[in-house]
Structure 1
Amino acid sequence: MTKKIQIMETVLRDGQQSLIATRMPTSDMLPIIKTLDEAGYYA
């Protein structure tokens, strides 16, 4: 049986939830969202 590997990218979530650094605003995330989606990340 072949198992599918799924990679979960959490950099945008982690940037938003950062307590140490300044939080990453949504406006900084928008330009890269399509590229991450096209890369095939699971979530």
Structure 2
Amino acid sequence: MFQGCCNINSEVFLSLPCILGTSGVIEMVRLEEDPLVQEKLQSTIFP
């Protein structure tokens, strides 16, 4: 779930890079906090 990242406050499920361990996801790889990346992501999710 991507809620709380990049100023997204809705429940959004995306395929994101992460680190997996024997018991599942250990850590989610954070996306760059670039304003242009955030703007593109939000315009794609909320057209």
The question of a shared fold, defined as TM-score above 0.5 by the shorter chain, is answered with no
TM-score (norm 2): 0.27
The structure number with the bigger radius of gyration is 1
* Structure with greater proportional helix content: 1
TM-score (norm 1): 0.27
Larger RCO, structure (CA 8 Å, separation 6 or more) = 1
* Structure with greater proportional strand content: 2
